[in-house]
Amino acid sequence: MCGIVAYIGPKDATPFLLEGLARLEYRGYDSAGVAVAGRTGGIKVRKVKGRVADLAAAVPARFKGSTGIGHTRWATHGVPSDANAHPHLDNAERIAVVHNGIIENADELRAKLAADGAVFRSETDTEVLGHLIAAHAAEGVELEEAVRAALGKVVGTYGIAVLDAEQPDRIVVARNGSPIVLGLGEKEMFVASDVSALVRYTRQVVHLEDGELATVRADGFRTFTEDARTTHRQPSTVDWEIDSYDTGGYEHFLLKEIHEQPGSVERTLGGRLDERFATAHLGGLNLDARELREIRRVKILGCGSAYYAGEMGAQLIEELARIPAHSEPASEFRYRNPVIEADTLYIAVSQSGETYDTLAAVQEVKRKGGRVLGVVNTVGSAIARECDGGIYLHAGPEISVASTKAFTSTVVAFALIALHFGRIHDLSPADGRRIVSALKALPDQIREVLAQSDAIAELAAEYAGSEGMMFIGRVRGYPVAREGAQKLKEISYVHAEAYPASELKHGPLALISPELPTVALVPDDELLDKNLTTLGEIKARSGRVLAVAHRRPEAKLADHCILVPKSEPELDPLLLNIPLQLLAYHAAVALGRDVDKPRNLAKSVTVE
Ligand code: F6R
């Protein structure tokens, strides 16, 4: 949510800033801006409402400087506008600041600064930072001291980069709840809120910790804490290939990420299956068999698609390990004064590892003495660090706002957890082997579904014009329906509602008409007959049905059908979900939507 870039070195900063912002645009895209300082003195700023391409068009050729900062915004305080776009300046236009996060005491600080003569030109919380730093940047004070003193007065979360017209040989950055990464180049340094902006320039990076600041100069950096103690940070190497951050010939990141799933699932499974004992090895859980046997309940916490993946995870844990398990939106959990029990294991799910609601839920559990594991994609992210242990997805960078490959890998990770827990409890070796074989078969089975992309595109074009769509599934199929509806609504803006198939006749059947088609999950399992009866009820009310099934239902029960290869019943939901990703993608394309950057949304919701 919002992206930060910065550059200092012998070159002109602007090309890197604009390219870096374009790479970060998936994190927020309602306005963008850059500021540079150079040898000629003063700070130049350009900022516009709109996309990074609009900013690039507004930046004149003479807009040059060897030190610069940039920002792409997702509005929280104040509407998207030129004035509210970052960077923000103080009265004298000496200090420029870009900021991700929320300054909670912004109103109070604003009142005090205004009383002292600060003139505010935006409605943002960030603008107080520019004025506050300027107020501490008296004659002879180093920029890092002014930033440190200013941050001492701030309550809230931030990742910031600060430029000073009078000290253009440095950029000062700080992190508290919102990531900042330094990129080390040859006599030049880069900064970003996400490595995807840096990997074309350097693989050597330093991730700042919360509460840490850095002074970045062309020839290196110094890190220190908010109370001025120097910290020592060793660079690490980014191991993802550069093309992980490109569309790689696909029309959209979303389509690329959907097609990457055979590989990302292989990576999630990589080295974790133990065929001899028919179980899974999950060293990162930091729980031995004795501790695991004491767990009486599992509570899974995540937001949006991560929550739905958690619902699939809860069913897997209950079925394979026979431990009661439940998934709850982390955003609700954290506000309801939850009862934390010693024999409950809490599992936080997050692709980004940054989602503020999920992080706050983890902190609430830990504050009350609970034990939390993380199922996280982004290595070293805030949620991963906050948890007591867990497993990384290794799904690779997910750039498109809508989650697909991370969703699938999360469900695979839960299958591994459920298998591991199950084999410690009562899951038989034969059942363990059944699940291990089914997991190994998944990548090829996903390839089979992906091969139907063109046929699904034709169906999507036919259904995309509907006034809305109903998604139904029973038991294991219900989370699939929820995630399918979520994907369709977020990228195509077609209204979609998910219901347990069993509940249809208790109300929503009233909605069924030719204008509201139903996507029905119809696995070949013990509930097949019940599902076919529901299809009959829909057809009897002139509803149109698109079945996603293992076997084609009779023509009188379904207008269209997408066939999916059969796995073991516990893992079927994972495969049934893949065509729904393609359906949403192709519907969004058919409707001309901005697939990778849907309106009003942003990747990583780092605010409340
Ligand atoms: C949906 C989607 C969101 C995220 C949610 C949690 O496609 O992407 O619903 O799943 O915001 O994000 P993470 O997993 O990063 O915590």
| Secondary structure in 3-state letters for 171-222 | EEEEEEECCCEEEECCCCEEEECCHHHCCCCCCEEEECCCCEEEEEECCEEE
Residues facing 547 on adjacent strands: 520, 561
Q: Does any ligand 1 atom lie closer than 6 A to the CB of residue 358?
A: yes
Do 275 and 432 form a contact (C-beta atoms < 8 A)? no
Dihedral sign computed on CA atoms, order 526, 527, 530, 531: negative
- Contacts with 15 (C-beta within 8 Å, 6 or more apart), sequence order: none
- Give me ligand 1 centre to Cα 597, in Å: 13
- Between the CA of residue 532 and those of 379, 480, 515, 519, 554, what are the distances in Å? 44, 17, 21, 13, 9
Do 474 and 528 form a contact (C-beta atoms < 8 A)? no
**pTM of the predicted protein model:** 0.85
- Give me ligand 1 centre to Cα 21, in Å: 21
Question: Which of ligand 1's atoms lies nearest the C-alpha of 404?
Answer: 7
Is 2 known to be catalytic? yes
Do 235 and 220 form a contact (C-beta atoms < 8 A)? no
**Calpha distance 338→545 (Å, rounded):** 41
- Give me ligand 1 centre to Cα 347, in Å: 16
- Give me ligand 1 centre to Cα 446, in Å: 22
Q: Does any ligand 1 atom lie closer than 6 A to the CB of residue 355?
A: yes
- Give me ligand 1 centre to Cα 526, in Å: 32
Question: Which of ligand 1's atoms lies nearest the C-alpha of 401?
Answer: 8
Q: Does any ligand 1 atom lie closer than 6 A to the CB of residue 403?
A: yes
Helices and strands (H, E) in the chain, number of each type = 18, 27
Which residue among 194, 258, 355 has the greatest number of ligand 1 atoms within 8 angstroms of its CB, and so is best to mutate?
355
Catalytic residue among 2, 303, 387, 561: 2
**Calpha distance 291→420 (Å, rounded):** 13
Closest CA to 75 of 33, 19, 122, 28: 28
φ and ψ at 299, to 5 degrees?
-120, 125
- Give me ligand 1 centre to Cα 500, in Å: 22
Specify the pLDDT at position 391. Answer: 94
Is 603 known to be catalytic? yes
Q: Does any ligand 1 atom lie closer than 6 A to the CB of residue 350?
A: yes
Which residue among 1, 74, 305, 593 has the greatest number of ligand 1 atoms within 8 angstroms of its CB, and so is best to mutate?
305
Give me the torsion for CA of 68, 72, 74, 78, rounded to 10°: 50
Three-state DSSP at 100 gives strand
Question: Which of ligand 1's atoms lies nearest the C-alpha of 406?
Answer: 14
Q: Does any ligand 1 atom lie closer than 6 A to the CB of residue 490?
A: yes
Question: Atom 10 in ligand 1: which residue has the minimum CA distance?
Answer: 305
Specify the pLDDT at position 340. Answer: 95
- Between the CA of residue 270 and those of 5, 375, 429, 592, what are the distances in Å? 34, 15, 21, 38
Specify the pLDDT at position 243. Answer: 73
**Calpha distance 402→604 (Å, rounded):** 10
Specify the pLDDT at position 330. Answer: 96
Q: Does any ligand 1 atom lie closer than 6 A to the CB of residue 351?
A: yes
- Between the CA of residue 401 and those of 32, 305, 352, 384, 491, what are the distances in Å? 18, 11, 11, 20, 9
Do 80 and 123 form a contact (C-beta atoms < 8 A)? no
Q: Does any ligand 1 atom lie closer than 6 A to the CB of residue 305?
A: yes
Dihedral sign computed on CA atoms, order 583, 584, 585, 587: positive
**Calpha distance 553→559 (Å, rounded):** 9
- Give me ligand 1 centre to Cα 383, in Å: 14
- Give me ligand 1 centre to Cα 277, in Å: 34
Q: Does any ligand 1 atom lie closer than 6 A to the CB of residue 577?
A: no
Q: Does any ligand 1 atom lie closer than 6 A to the CB of residue 402?
A: yes
Specify the pLDDT at position 1. Answer: 67
Question: Atom 3 in ligand 1: which residue has the minimum CA distance?
Answer: 304
Specify the pLDDT at position 245. Answer: 77
Helices 429-450 + 405-424 axis angle, to 10: 170
Return averaged pLDDT per consecutive 10 residues of the chain, 608 residues in all.
Answer: 92 95 84 88 92 93 94 85 94 95 91 95 94 90 96 93 96 93 96 91 93 96 96 89 80 96 96 95 90 96 98 98 97 93 97 93 96 93 91 93 97 98 96 98 98 98 95 98 98 97 93 95 97 96 96 96 98 98 98 92 74
Three-state DSSP at 293 gives helix
- Give me ligand 1 centre to Cα 305, in Å: 5
Q: Give DSSP secondary structure letters for 221-239.
A: EEEEETTS-EE----EE--
Q: Does any ligand 1 atom lie closer than 6 A to the CB of residue 306?
A: yes
**Calpha distance 70→522 (Å, rounded):** 49
Do 340 and 368 form a contact (C-beta atoms < 8 A)? yes
Question: Atom 5 in ligand 1: which residue has the minimum CA distance?
Answer: 304
Question: Atom 7 in ligand 1: which residue has the minimum CA distance?
Answer: 402
Do 106 and 78 form a contact (C-beta atoms < 8 A)? no
Q: Does any ligand 1 atom lie closer than 6 A to the CB of residue 606?
A: no
Question: Which of ligand 1's atoms lies nearest the C-alpha of 605?
Answer: 11
Catalytic residue among 299, 405, 489, 603: 603
Q: Does any ligand 1 atom lie closer than 6 A to the CB of residue 605?
A: yes
Burial of residue 156, with CB atoms counted within 10 A of its CB: 0-12 exposed, 13-18 middle, 19 or more buried? middle
Q: Which two tokens stand for residue 154?
A: 């701030």
- Give me ligand 1 centre to Cα 51, in Å: 22
- Give me ligand 1 centre to Cα 194, in Å: 17
